[in-house]
Amino acid sequence: MSSKDVEVIDRTVCFQGFFRLDRFHLRHRRLDGAWSRPMDREVFLRGGAIAVLPYDPIRDEVILIEQLRAGALAAGRNAWTIETVAGVLPADCDPTDVCRQEVWEETGLHAIALEKLYEFMPSPASTSEWMALYCAHVDAAGAGGECGLEEEDEHIRVLPMAADDALAAMAAGTIDNAFTLIALQWLERNRAALRDRWAPANDEVRLMA
């Protein structure tokens, strides 16, 4: 199936505020070859975003951030979530430029190298959001404290932690948002190879010297 197997008969803007919600009146080709009856489907419109897991391969530390998330508040859950760096990806921007900028704004660190992990949709049934997920090579020396852009009402606590502790927090359920789980699972599967690429043995010796 492809986009020619969907016919959007009508599209209505239901709400336009900071975000937008549209209703699609559509039909689509069924798997048996016939067309479905017209149906209404509401979609929360978001667009592209990036998320970045900053990782220091020499210290074997990740840098996560804590901030208030309104969706978690509305769900009746702890409204302060522990996450990777993330930000909106404007349509005409290079994702890696946005990654570097967000890593700097949200953690005060420089991304020395970036590796793309995945591009995915967090909730494709009803939300158009898609996200490009990266891992950033950082030097975590001095990481910590508060970051975030005052003009964007960002209030962020920077949490450097041993990679093992972050993986334990994931297993314990303390880290409970999709992109951070995906990034940490990826790290768990790829940590040894990543350290070899980003921190060959001589660097480790240099740090210890």
Partner 1 sequence: MNTEDVEVLEREICFQGFFRLDRFRLRHRRFAGGWTEPLHREVFLRGGAVAVLPYDPVRDRVVLIEQFRPGALAAGRPAWMIEAVAGLVEPGESPEEVCHREAMEEAGLRLSALERITGFMPSPGGSSEWVTLYGGRVDAGAAGGIHGNPREGEDIRVLTLAADDAIARVGSGAIDNAITIIALQWLALNRADLRARWTAVAAGG
Catalytic residues: 152
Minimum separation from the CB atom of position 116 to partner 1 (A): 10
Does 36 contact partner 1 by CB under 8 A?
yes
Does 93 contact partner 1 by CB under 8 A?
no
* Residue 99 structure tokens: 């990654």
Does 114 contact partner 1 by CB under 8 A?
no
Minimum separation from the CB atom of position 102 to partner 1 (A): 13
Nearer to partner 1, 51 or 103 (CB): 51
Nearer to partner 1, 79 or 194 (CB): 79
Per CB under 8 A, contacts with partner 1 among 134-153 are 146, 153
Does 174 contact partner 1 by CB under 8 A?
no
Q: Residue 163 in contact with residue 148, Cβ under 8 Å?
A: no
Does 104 contact partner 1 by CB under 8 A?
no
Among 59, 81, 89, 98, binds partner 1 (CB under 8 A): 81
Among 9, 68, 113, 168, binds partner 1 (CB under 8 A): 68
Nearer to partner 1, 7 or 203 (CB): 7
| Residue 135: partners with Cβ closer than 8 Å, 6 or more residues away | 52, 53, 54, 55, 114, 115, 117, 183, 186, 187, 194
Does 173 contact partner 1 by CB under 8 A?
yes
Minimum separation from the CB atom of position 31 to partner 1 (A): 5
Distance CA 66, CA 80 (A): 6
Q: Give the CA distances from residue 45 to residues 21, 23, 60, 70, 80, in Å, rounded to whole numbers and listed in that order.
A: 6, 10, 37, 17, 24
Q: Give the CA distances from residue 125 to residues 76, 163, 178, 186, in Å, rounded to whole numbers and listed in that order.
A: 22, 33, 15, 24
Residue 17, burial from CB neighbour count under 10 angstroms (0-12, 13-18, 19+) = exposed
Does 108 contact partner 1 by CB under 8 A?
no
**Cα 167 to chain centroid, rounded:** 17
Per CB under 8 A, contacts with partner 1 among 177-206 are 177-179, 181-182, 185-186, 188-189
Among 9, 90, 124, 144, binds partner 1 (CB under 8 A): 124
| 3-state SS, residue 149 | coil
β-bridge partners, 15: 21
